[in-house]
Every structure is written in structure tokens, then in C-alpha cells.
């Protein structure tokens, strides 16, 4: 770096200046569609010119500029260079007031309506003149306010500026788009951060950020070629599905050379794999999926091409990520081995592709040859989604994750083949927390155990990231290794798992015979109170309902409970009744209870018989007026799996508790104990109160022998040993 020419080149790179011969300080933003030259020296050796000279150069450039985005970039570059001063002085109310006064002339000439796409000569001159400030007022403070003004008045023109340069690869200091879809139009769940940004950075506005050093580590390319077709890829009705066709590693072919390096990995039976994938995609689409993601290396190149037909079918998915496959192509006269993910978009003939740049070393030593400067391609939609395809370990590269977060990636679809998804939780949470991203990781196969292993090793099948999740990510880990489908409903955050038999058969319900104890409860409970043409009205307490579903067992009636997910804010890990707040479309407590039970547990309402309702309970602490809806079923039918974003498991406990109904832990019968995967959880306070009420009702209705002794519990005669269990703290909504 002793060559003066090299130093001058580094200066140009760092300052993003292409200076004319007669004025080495003139600033002009570098805009180019192609990759930056690798021959350029590192920007860290550059030395900025004196501040007055830089301000003068920016003034000259802005006065001659007609593109709002370029003028904004000049101002943000000054904010980045002088960030220590800006950080300190903008906290000073007096300084900000003087800066506001200095920009008053600009506000007068700026267009009011968001219709102008160019800077008029008068506006450009006013912007340049505002940077001429008196002593004591930093010019960077004025530059910051001017940048905010340009962003407010001309942000509608930025997308077209970026689109004209597509595919656009920014360098350090170049602008990148910050598109932020309004999550309120996408999900009913409260987001984990403000609508557009977690922190107020000095080198960005609401719609534009300057690229950092990450732009030298990856070829980050913003691609607008499918912006129109990608519009609406995420909305309130979107269901994202991950399909998992394989059980074990034995279903794959792993050819290895003498050094143990493996290529190409592929399914052993391509025809059988095709049939299984088609069946799973069909099940996903039948459950409303518009985005389908297949795992890594579950297809061959030819099989992936066959799957494109799904996006051409009526009722097919809008986007299908057909996993990834190993292949070799010609590179400088010699074959280069690659792992390529491929995605098909409805209405587009050419697929979206992404090469893997971090080879795997387990379960096999993957023999691929990534390109030296890895590419991260961001597909931008007109409504602000930044779609990225990534393959497995690429998401574990912290530099790649940082680049994705900085570039505003907010929809990531990830095929994976990993013996664990635990390590993916941190990177995915980072992307969800920083950019409100939605993430779907499809993993395969279900069982990574070797033939000599004494224990079964089953990683999670899928990992989802959602801005409404309490801990940002959730794993999907079914109980068996059967092929299946993971579903994420974007609006509610509901997660489901459909195993390989999903949708094939349903139970033959027949005509059930109601047991005597159910008749007793039906007689003692009140009728449902349907509310015709119900409209939500402002009340102090919000109407809510829970479903108290009783089934018959050898020990008398048993009650169905759900165990709340351990990372929820309210009642984590507790056993509660399914239920929740009433909605405008619910015609009474029964409708609310059945709807909530169906959403939480996939319970089929047609398999349930309503016995009646208990008096509503006012829960002052949580603000609910809770109505317990009592129901009975000869055999509850579940059309899917529980919403694992809310429910860890579904279980039943006997209503009769011989050790005392006041206990806060259930005592499952031996035949029910097998349903639990761990120690019984604590009962929610509201749940305990309702159970005590039921026991009290049945206690009072039991007959006695001549000596006054109460009959012991039989299959149809449950009693409680301790009616005083109804005492205690006021129940809250479980």
C-alpha cells in the first residue's frame, strides 16, 4: 500500500467518490449493476478529506442532482462519517431547534403531495444552501434533518430508482432499500418490535440504509425482476408448509470417494420419492398452503423440474421451494460441483435459484465447490417483501446472517438436512427480532441414527420464525419418524403437524350412548345462551368461554386438558381448558368454546355433544367474563394436530381425585399416564375452580346408602373426597 496510486484508489473506494480532474473533493455516489472490482484496495486505509471540503462537495453534487435517492445518499454518507458529532449534538434541544430553523426554507419549496419523482431545480438549490450553516451548528445536524425530509416526501420514488438498477449490487456506503410491510395487515399477533425499525440508526432513514462492510464479504444482490409476481406472497390467509418425505438416512444414496467426500447425495428410489412428495404437497395445499418448502437434497435435478407443474395447477401453491440437489456444471473448462436450491413461482417460467456456499461436514462430508465470493440474492416484491433462499448451513454463518439482517431480509425459506435444528434457533431469532422476518426451515430425514446406534436420534422436522412468537422461533418435532407436513398459519401463528396418514381416514362415529353422569350434568347445567346478530359492545369485562370436554373411562368421567407451551407469557406450562375470548362471529359461549378448541387442538366440533353451561365467572384480574361450556364425547375426533405454538400436549385426567380435589397437580390413571411425556404439570387456577364446581355438582347429586355413607365412585358415579377444594384464590382465565 505504499503505491500512491493505490492509496488514491482506496480513497475513492471509501468515499464512494468519482472525482473530476479539476476537483478531487467532488462526491458522486457509485451506482452499478455489476459486482465491484476485486482489485480495489480495502477501504479501511482511506483517509477522509477535511470536513469543509466534503460539505462543499456534497453541496455541489446535490445542487446538480435530480434523483431524490442519490441526494439522500449524499446526506446519509455525511451522517455516517460524522456520527460521533451527530450522536452527541442531536440530543441537544437547542441544536435541533437551530437545525430545524436552518431547514425551514427547504420545507417551503418541497412538494406537499407524494407525486413528484424528481428534485426540481429550486428544491435542489434549497437543499444545498441549507448545508451552509453558521458557526456552532454542525452541518451534519442539518444533513440529518434534510435526509428525513427527503425520505418523507420522496420515498414513493425510491423503489423505481432501485428497480432501474436491478439486479443491483451495493458497495460499502451505497443505499439499500428498507421495505417494511405493515404486519397489522398480515398477522393478528402483536409483533415483537415497532412497525419499521427496532433502533434509530444514523446512517438510515425509514426507507433507506447505507450498506456496511458486509457488502464486501458477500455479493448481496437486490433483484426486482419478479417484483409484481411476488406481490401478495404473504398476507393474512397465507399458510406456509414444510414437507418431509423421508424417514431415515437409509433412503438416500451417499457415494463417497477414497477421502470420504460425498457427491452426489440423492434419493435411492426417485419414483417412490416423487410419489411421496406429490402426496405431501397435495396434503399441504388441501390445508391451505400457498408456500411449500421441501428439504435439502430430497430431489434430483430432473425430479425438481417435474415439481414445477404444481405452481401451474389450479389451486396449487403460489411458491414451491423444491428443496435442493447436487449437480455439476462447467466452470472455466472443468466441472464444478454445486448444491443448488430451486424455487418455482406461479406465473414465472424461469425458477429462482441459490447455491450453497457452506459445505456440510456431517452427516456426510459434502464435496461441493462453492464460488469464491458467495452470493446472497434478495428477491424484492412491490409490497415490500425481501425473499431469500438459503440452504442449511448457510444460515449458520454469522456473517451471512448479519448481511441478511442488514439488507432487510424478511422472508427466508430454507431447505435443510441437519442432525439438529437447535443451532438454527439463534440465527433465525436474530432475523425475526431485527427485521420482523418470517422464516421456514424444512429438515429431512426424520431419523439420523446409524445402524450401529443404540439410541434413536430424531432432530426436529421444521423450524419456524414468526414476529408474533414469544421467543421468536418454534420447533416442530413429531412423536414419530413418519413423513409429514408442518404448517404455519401466518395470521394466528398456529403450528400444526400432519403425519403421513393426514386426511386419509376418519373415525366411524356411529350413534353414541350418553352415560348417566353426563345426563346428570346436562340436567344441572343451564342451556346455551345464543345471541342472535351478536355485535361486539364495549363492556368492562370481555366475554370468553372454555370447553370442558368430558369423556368416559373405566374410572368414570375424564376431562380433556391442554398443557400450555412453556414459553408463553400467560400460564406457561400449566394444564388448562381450551378456550379464549369471544369474537364478533361467535353466536354465544358454545360457539366461542368450540372455535377456540378447534384452533388450539384441531378438535372436530361434530364429535362433541354440548350438555350445557355453568354460570359465568368474572375474572377481574384478567378482565374476562368466563363461561364454562360443558360437553361430552364418546370419542373426540381430532382432524389434525395441536397448535404447538400454544399447546405442548393434549391429555385427560380423571374427574374423580381420591387423594383430594384441592391438589394443584393431576393424578392420571395408569392407562392415561402413557399420554404424558413428562411429569404432570400444575393445573391453572381457573381450571381448578371449574373442576371443583363440577365435582360439587356431582357430589350433591349422588345417592347415599341407608347409613348415610356416600357411595364409592363407579364408572358412572364420580365423587370428590374434598369439596372444600373450591376455596382459594380467585381464578384467573387459564
For residue 625, the tally of other CB atoms under 10 A from its CB is: 20
At residue 408, the pLDDT reads 92
At residue 148, the pLDDT reads 92
Q: Which whole number is the average pLDDT over 679-703? A: 73
CA 620 – CA 730 distance, rounded (Å): 9
Q: Which whole number is the average pLDDT over 495-509? A: 59
CA 285 – CA 236 distance, rounded (Å): 16
CA 550 – CA 630 distance, rounded (Å): 8
At residue 697, the pLDDT reads 83
CA 436 – CA 188 distance, rounded (Å): 14
Chain segment 307-349, per-residue pLDDT in tens: 999 999 999 999 999 999 999 987 666 788 999 999 999 999 9
Q: Is there a contact between 661 and 577 (Cβ–Cβ < 8 Å)?
A: no
At residue 114, the pLDDT reads 67
Q: Which whole number is the average pLDDT over 494-517? A: 64
Q: 214-499, superfamily in CATH?
A: Carbon-nitrogen hydrolase (3.60.110.10)
Q: Is there a contact between 58 and 131 (Cβ–Cβ < 8 Å)?
A: yes
Do strands 375-380 and 386-389 pair parallel, antiparallel, or not at all (unpaired)?
A: antiparallel
At residue 713, the pLDDT reads 43
Q: Is there a contact between 150 and 65 (Cβ–Cβ < 8 Å)?
A: no
pLDDT band at 282 (very low <50, low <70, confident <90, very high): very high
Q: What residues have CB less than 8 Å from 574, skipping those under 6 apart?
A: 563, 564, 681, 682, 683, 684, 687, 734
User: Of 13-22, 66-75, 274-283, 331-340, which range is least confident?
Assistant: 13-22
At residue 699, the pLDDT reads 58
At residue 198, the pLDDT reads 44
Do strands 575-576 and 556-564 pair parallel, antiparallel, or not at all (unpaired)?
A: antiparallel
In the chain, the percentage of residues whose pLDDT exceeds 70 is 79
At residue 726, the pLDDT reads 30
pLDDT band at 536 (very low <50, low <70, confident <90, very high): low
At residue 672, the pLDDT reads 36
Q: Which candidate, 522, 561, 554, places its Cα nearest to that of 698?
A: 522
User: Is 685 or 162 the better-scoring residue by pLDDT?
Assistant: 162
Chain segment 9-47, per-residue pLDDT in tens: 433 433 343 333 334 343 445 554 444 433 344 444 455
Alpha helices in 68-186 (DSSP H): 68-81, 83-89, 93-102, 104-109, 121-130, 139-154, 158-164
CA 583 – CA 543 distance, rounded (Å): 9
User: Is 596 or 28 the better-scoring residue by pLDDT?
Assistant: 596
Helical axes 68-81 vs 51-63, angle rounded to 10°:
170
CA 14 – CA 143 distance, rounded (Å): 20
Torsion of CA 205, 211, 212, 218, to 10 degrees: 150
Torsion of CA 147, 151, 152, 154, to 10 degrees: 120
Q: What residues have CB less than 8 Å from 342, skipping those under 6 apart?
A: 304, 321, 322, 323, 324, 325, 351, 352, 353
Whether domain 516-726 has CATH 3.90.79.10: the reply is yes
User: Of 59-63, 64-68, 519-523, which range is least confident?
Assistant: 519-523
User: Is 335 or 710 the better-scoring residue by pLDDT?
Assistant: 335
CA 428 – CA 419 distance, rounded (Å): 17
- Asked if pLDDT for residue 184 goes beyond 70, the answer is yes
Q: Is there a contact between 70 and 39 (Cβ–Cβ < 8 Å)?
A: no
Highest mean pLDDT among 80-84, 397-401, 717-721: 397-401
User: Of 110-114, 117-121, 165-169, 705-709, which range is least confident?
Assistant: 705-709
Chain segment 608-620, per-residue pLDDT in tens: 999 999 988 887 7
- Asked if pLDDT for residue 503 goes beyond 70, the answer is no
Handedness of CA 154, 156, 159, 164 (dihedral sign): negative
Handedness of CA 671, 673, 676, 677 (dihedral sign): negative
CA 458 – CA 249 distance, rounded (Å): 11
Q: What DSSP assignment string belongs to 635-677? A: S--BSS---TTTEEEEEEEES--TT-TT-SS----HHHHTT-S
pLDDT mean across residues, the chain: 80
Own/partner long-range contacts of 371-374 (Cβ < 8 Å, ≥24 apart): 373/35, 373/38, 373/218, 373/219, 374/218, 374/219, 374/400
Q: Which whole number is the average pLDDT over 479-493? A: 90
Q: Is there a contact between 615 and 526 (Cβ–Cβ < 8 Å)?
A: yes
Q: What DSSP assignment string belongs to 674-694? A: TT-SSSPPPBPHHHHHHHHHH
At residue 715, the pLDDT reads 38
Q: Which whole number is the average pLDDT over 152-181? A: 92
Helix (H, G, I), strand (E, B) or coil at 511: coil
In the chain, the percentage of residues whose pLDDT exceeds 90 is 45
At residue 31, the pLDDT reads 55
CA 689 – CA 694 distance, rounded (Å): 9
Q: Where in the chain is the domain with CATH 3.60.110.10?
A: 214-499
pTM assigned to the model: 0.70
Q: Where in the chain is the domain with CATH 3.90.79.10?
A: 516-726
Beta pairing partners, 465? 439, 473
Q: In whole angstroms, how far apart are CA 69 and each of 110, 144, 215, 403?
A: 15, 14, 19, 22
User: Of 8-17, 363-372, 588-597, 617-626, which range is least confident?
Assistant: 8-17
Q: Is there a contact between 250 and 406 (Cβ–Cβ < 8 Å)?
A: no
User: Is 275 or 39 the better-scoring residue by pLDDT?
Assistant: 275
- Cell representation of residue 104: 425551514
At residue 355, the pLDDT reads 95
Amino acid at each position: 500500500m505504499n503505491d500512491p496510486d493505490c492509496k488514491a484508489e482506496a480513497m475513492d473506494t471509501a468515499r464512494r467518490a468519482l472525482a473530476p480532474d479539476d476537483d478531487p473533493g467532488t462526491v458522486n455516489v457509485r451506482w452499478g449493476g455489476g459486482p465491484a472490482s476485486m482489485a480495489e484496495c480495502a477501504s479501511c486505509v482511506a483517509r477522509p478529506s477535511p470536513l469543509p471540503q466534503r460539505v462543499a462537495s456534497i453541496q455541489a453534487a446535490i445542487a446538480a442532482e435530480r434523483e431524490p435517492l442519490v441526494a439522500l445518499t449524499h446526506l446519509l454518507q455525511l451522517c455516517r462519517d460524522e456520527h460521533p458529532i451527530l450522536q452527541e449534538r442531536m440530543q441537544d434541544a437547542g441544536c435541533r431547534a437551530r437545525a430545524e430553523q436552518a431547514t425551514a426554507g427547504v420545507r417551503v419549496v418541497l412538494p406537499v403531495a407524494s407525486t413528484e419523482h424528481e428534485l426540481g431545480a429550486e428544491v435542489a438549490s434549497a437543499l444545498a444552501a441549507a448545508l451552509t450553516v453558521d458557526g456552532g451548528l454542525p452541518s451534519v445536524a442539518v444533513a440529518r434533518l434534510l435526509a428525513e425530509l427527503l425520505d418523507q416526501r420522496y420515498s414513493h420514488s425510491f423503489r423505481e430508482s432501485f428497480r432501474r438498477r436491478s439486479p443491483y449490487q451495493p458497495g460499502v456506503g451505497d443505499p439499500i432499500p428498507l421495505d417494511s410491510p405493515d404486519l397489522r395487515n398480515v398477522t393478528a399477533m402483536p409483533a415483537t418490535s415497532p412497525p419499521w425499525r427496532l433502533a434509530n440508526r444514523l446512517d438510515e432513514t425509514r426507507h433507506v440504509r447505507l450498506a456496511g462492510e458486509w457488502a464486501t464479504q458477500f455479493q448481496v444482490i437486490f433483484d426486482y425482476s419478479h417484483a409484481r409476481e411476488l406481490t401478495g406472497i404473504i398476507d393474512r390467509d397465507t399458510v406456509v408448509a414444510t414437507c418431509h418425505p423421508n424417514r431415515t438416512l437409509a433412503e438416500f444414496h451417499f457415494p463417497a470417494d477414497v477421502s470420504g467426500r460425498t457427491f452426489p447425495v440423492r434419493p435411492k428410489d426417485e419414483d417412490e420419492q416423487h410419489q411421496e412428495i406429490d402426496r405431501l404437497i397435495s396434503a399441504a395445499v388441501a390445508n391451505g398452503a400457498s408456500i411449500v418448502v421441501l428439504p435439502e437434497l430430497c430431489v434430483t435435478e430432473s425430479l425438481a423440474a417435474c415439481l414445477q407443474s404444481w405452481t401451474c395447477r389450479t389451486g396449487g401453491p403460489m411458491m414451491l421451494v423444491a428443496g435442493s440437489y447436487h449437480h455439476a456444471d462447467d466452470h472455466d473448462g472443468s466441472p464444478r460441483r454445486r448444491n443448488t436450491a430451486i424455487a418455482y413461482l406461479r406465473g414465472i417460467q424461469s425458477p429462482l435459484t441459490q447455491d450453497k456456499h457452506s459445505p456440510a461436514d456431517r452427516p456426510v462430508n459434502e464435496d461441493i465447490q462453492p464460488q469464491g465470493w458467495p452470493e446472497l440474492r434478495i428477491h424484492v416484491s412491490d409490497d415490500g417483501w425481501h425473499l431469500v433462499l438459503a440452504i442449511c448451513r448457510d444460515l449458520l454463518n454469522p456473517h451471512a446472517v448479519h448481511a441478511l439482517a442488514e439488507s432487510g431480509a424478511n422472508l427466508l425459506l430454507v431447505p435443510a438436512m441437519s442432525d439438529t435444528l437447535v443451532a438454527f434457533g439463534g440465527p433465525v431469532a436474530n432475523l425475526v427480532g431485527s427485521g420482523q422476518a418470517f422464516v421456514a426451515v424444512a429438515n429431512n430425514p426424520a431419523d439420523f441414527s446409524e445402524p450401529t446406534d443404540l439410541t434413536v436420534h430424531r432432530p426436529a422436522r421444521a423450524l419456524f420464525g414468526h414476529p408474533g412468537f414469544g421467543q421468536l422461533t418454534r420447533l416442530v418435532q413429531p412423536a414419530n419418524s413418519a413423513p409429514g407436513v408442518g404448517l404455519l398459519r401466518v395470521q394466528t401463528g398456529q403450528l400444526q403437524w400432519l403425519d403421513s396418514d393426514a386426511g386419509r381416514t376418519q373415525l366411524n362415529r356411529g350413534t353414541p350412548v350418553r352415560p348417566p353422569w353426563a345426563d346428570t350434568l346436562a340436567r344441572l347445567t343451564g342451556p346455551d345462551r345464543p345471541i342472535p346478530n351478536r355485535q361486539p359492545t364495549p363492556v368492562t369485562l370481555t366475554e370468553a368461554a372454555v370447553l370442558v370436554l368430558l369423556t368416559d373411562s373405566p374410572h368414570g368421567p375424564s376431562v380433556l386438558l391442554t398443557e400450555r407451551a412453556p414459553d408463553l407469557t400467560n400460564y406457561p406450562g400449566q394444564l388448562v381448558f381450551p378456550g379464549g375470548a369471544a369474537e364478533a362471529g361467535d353466536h354465544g359461549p358454545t360457539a366461542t368454546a368450540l372455535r377456540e378448541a378447534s384452533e388450539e387442538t384441531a378438535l372436530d366440533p361434530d364429535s362433541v355433544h354440548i350438555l350445557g353451561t355453568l354460570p359465568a365467572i368474572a375474572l377481574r384480574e384478567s378482565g374476562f367474563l368466563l363461561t364454562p361450556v360443558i360437553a361430552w364425547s364418546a370419542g373426540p375426533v381430532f382432524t389434525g394436530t395441536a397448535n404447538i405454538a400454544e399447546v405442548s400436549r393434549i391429555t385427560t385426567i380423571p374427574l374423580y381425585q381420591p387423594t383430594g380435589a384441592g391438589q394443584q397437580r393431576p393424578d392420571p390413571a395408569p392407562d392415561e399416564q402413557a399420554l404424558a411425556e413428562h411429569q404432570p404439570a400444575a393445573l391453572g387456577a381457573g381450571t381448578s375452580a371449574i373442576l371443583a364446581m363440577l365435582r360439587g355438582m356431582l357430589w350433591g347429586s349422588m345417592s347415599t346408602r341407608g347409613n348415610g355413607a356416600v357411595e364409592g365412585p363407579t364408572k358412572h358415579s364420580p365423587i370428590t373426597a374434598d369439596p372444600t377444594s373450591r376455596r382459594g384464590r380467585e381464578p384467573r382465565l387459564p
